[in-house]
Every structure is written in C-alpha cells, then in structure tokens.
C-alpha cells in the first residue's frame, strides 16, 4: 500500500481531470461565462473536499469511479461559494488561489453568474445517470449537497457572517457560524463519499459524520488563524482582512493560542471518531492532520 500522502496526491490529479471534463461546457451562453467558470474552478485549490469524498468512499470499499461525480459536484459548490465570497458585496477580496479573484479578472456580473452556473452544474452532475449508483443513492446525494449548500449550511452561515460584521459574538456563536458556512460542506463531502459506498446509516456512517463535524469546524478555525499569522504567498490570498473588516473570527474572540488549542482538540476528536473504521481510515486520518497543520 502506498503512503497516504502520495495517495492523496494522485487523488488530487484525478479530480483535476474530472473537473476539466465536467467543465468542457460546450454550450455556455457566452465564451466569457465559460472562461470565468473554468478560470475559477481549474488550476488551483487544495481540493480538500473531493479528497474527503474519495477517501471516505474508498475507506468503505467503494471504487473511485463511483464517486467522481460527487467529488466534482462538491468542489464546484465550494468554488461557487468562493467566487461569491470574494465579491465586493461580501468580503471584497482581490486575490484567490494566487490569482486575481473572478470579479477582478472578469467583472462582477460575470462572477455572480459564474457562481450561479457552477452551482447549477454541481446538481446536474449529481443527477446525471451513473450506472454505479442506485436512484436512491443519487437522490440522497442531491439532498445532502443541497442541505450543505443551503440555509442550514453554507448560505445560512455566510448570512450570519455578513450580519456579524462589527458585532461581538461569543465563541459558541462563532462556532455555530463556522459549522454552517464551512463545516456543512465538509460534512457533506464525507457523507457523499459514504453514500457512494452505499453506507446511508449505521455505526460507520455516524462515525464519519462525527469525524466530519469536528474537522469541518477545525478547518475554518485554522483558516481564521492563517488570516492572522499566515503567509499570503503560500495562501494565495490576502491576510489580515478579517480584522480589517471587523469580521468575528475564532482567534478574534478567543485569541490565537486558544484558537490553535481548539483546532487541535477538534482534530483529535475527529481522528478518535474514526476508530470503528480501523486501518481503512488512514487517508482520512492523514487529511485531518493536514487540515489543521496546513500553512496554505
């Protein structure tokens, strides 16, 4: 068996090809919209959510092919959320993944539409016929992704984020915001992988859900920490922007040291939750460590 890191690298290469395939976009209205979607979705990004989909599915014995569509769909939702998150009406950022943000490279209207179309494409991909999955599995995937992206998840969390500018939140309120705006899509990624393996409930499903809930929150706490002490070159985005925009963040309310301690605590909880899966979960364990130890 190859080591988890080289396995993860080969999964990264796989998702680049899968995304390129789904983003061929032969009929896209305008060439500009097509270019904006491809610009934001291809070449760049850690691809953590697809890695979680793949690693979960294979830990439960499913093939990679079975979850290619789910891995692409969740990344497209993530990219859409980044394109909109960077807009002047939200975080007003100029850099993303080491390149000018979508609205900077194109224009605001095109960036809004690129986000809209990326989201629609995600659901189209999931709904397309896939001989490896039953109709129940596909429908469950559509529901899980909608739940992760919508009011209960990313969009609802982003709404809290927008309304909280300049507001003093306590740590519980920050955690609630983070679980929604970022954690929900990470939970969705893991559960999509489980559904791909036809694991829709039971001990392993619950263990994976607990893993994902813990690591999803830890991931946004680490994102907040990197905004304070990260290297913009490595991150490919500006730092110090949360404080400048009076965004409530975990280090903002609790301090950097407490934020680091909380991220590590959650990472350890995530790894412990994988116990029922045994050695099959080694890639998920490696991912949990990477998601908290990362500098990019």
**Given the rule CB under 6 A, which residues bind ligand IPE?**
45-46, 48, 78, 81-82, 85, 91, 93, 97, 154, 158, 181-182, 220, 223, 237
CB-nearer residue toward ligand IPE: 125 or 199: 125
Find which of ligand IPE, Mg ion, none residue 193 binds, CB within 5 to 8 Å per kind: none
Q: Let me know if 201 is exposed, middle or buried by CB neighbors in 10 A (0-12, 13-18, 19+).
A: exposed
Q: Site mask, Mg ion, residues 88-127, x = CB under 5 A? A: ---x------------------------------------
**Contact status: 85 vs Mg ion (CB under 5 A):** yes
CB-nearer residue toward Mg ion: 75 or 223: 223
Smallest gap, in angstroms, from Cβ of residue 258 to ligand IPE?
Answer: 18
CB-nearer residue toward ligand IPE: 77 or 277: 77
The window from 18-26, 63-71, 85-93, 99-107 that contacts Mg ion (CB under 5 A) reads: 85-93
CB-nearer residue toward ligand IPE: 199 or 287: 287
CB-nearer residue toward ligand IPE: 181 or 262: 181
Instruction: Out of 223, 267, 273, 292, name the contact with Mg ion by CB under 5 A.
Output: 223
Q: How far apart are CA 61 and CA 56, in angstroms?
A: 9
Secondary structure (H, E, C), the chain: CCCHHHHHHHHHHHHHHHHHHHCCCCCCCCHHHHHHHHHHHCCCCCCHHHHHHHHHHHHCCCCCHHHHHHHHHHHHHHHHHHHHHCCCCCCCCCEECCEECHHHHCCHHHHHHHHHHHHHHHHHHHHCCCCCCCHHHHHHHHHHHHHHHCCCCHHHHHHHHHHCCCCCCCHHHHHHHHHHHHHHHHHHHHHHHHHHCCCCCCHHHHHHHHHHHHHHHHHHHHHHHHHHHCCHHHHCCCCCHHHHCCCCCHHHHHCHHHHHHHHHHHHHHHHHHCHHHHHHHHHHHHHHHHHHHCCC
Smallest gap, in angstroms, from Cβ of residue 88 to ligand IPE?
Answer: 13
Smallest gap, in angstroms, from Cβ of residue 119 to ligand IPE?
Answer: 12
CB-nearer residue toward ligand IPE: 68 or 223: 223
CB-nearer residue toward ligand IPE: 67 or 76: 76
Find which of Mg ion, ligand IPE, none residue 48 binds, CB within 5 to 8 Å per kind: ligand IPE
Smallest gap, in angstroms, from Cβ of residue 74 to ligand IPE?
Answer: 11
Give me the residues that bind Mg ion (CB under 5 A), please: 85, 91, 223, 227
């Amino acid at each position: 068996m190859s080591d988890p890191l080289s396995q993860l690298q080969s999964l990264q290469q796989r998702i680049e090809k899968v995304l390129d395939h789904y983003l061929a976009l032969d009929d896209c209205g305008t060439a500009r919209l097509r270019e904006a979607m491809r610009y934001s979705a291809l070449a760049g990004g850690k691809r953590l959510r697809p890695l979680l989909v793949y690693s979960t599915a294979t830990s439960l014995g499913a093939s990679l092919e079975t979850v290619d569509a789910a891995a692409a769909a969740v990344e497209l939702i993530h990219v859409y959320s980044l394109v909109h998150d960077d807009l002047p009406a939200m975080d007003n950022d100029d850099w993303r993944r080491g390149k000018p943000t979508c609205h900077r490279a194109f224009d605001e209207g095109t960036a809004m539409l690129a986000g809209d179309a990326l989201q629609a494409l995600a659901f189209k991909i999931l709904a397309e016929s896939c001989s490896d999955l039953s109709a129940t599995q596909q429908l469950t995937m559509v529901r899980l992704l909608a739940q992760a992206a919508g009011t209960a998840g990313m969009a609802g969390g982003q709404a809290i984020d927008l309304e909280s500018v300049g507001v003093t939140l306590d740590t519980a309120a920050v955690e609630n915001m983070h679980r929604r705006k970022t954690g929900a899509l990470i939970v969705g990624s893991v559960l999509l992988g489980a559904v791909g393996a036809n694991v829709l409930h039971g001990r392993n499903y619950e263990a994976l859900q607990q893993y994902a809930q813990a690591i999803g929150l830890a991931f946004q706490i680490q994102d907040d920490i990197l905004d304070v002490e990260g290297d913009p070159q490595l991150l490919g985005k500006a730092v110090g922007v949360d404080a400048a925009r009076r965004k409530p963040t975990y280090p903002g309310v609790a301090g950097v040291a407490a934020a680091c301690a909380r991220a590590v605590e959650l990472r350890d909880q995530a790894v412990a939750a994988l116990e029922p899966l045994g050695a099959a979960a080694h890639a998920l364990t490696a991912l949990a460590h990477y998601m908290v130890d990362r500098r990019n």
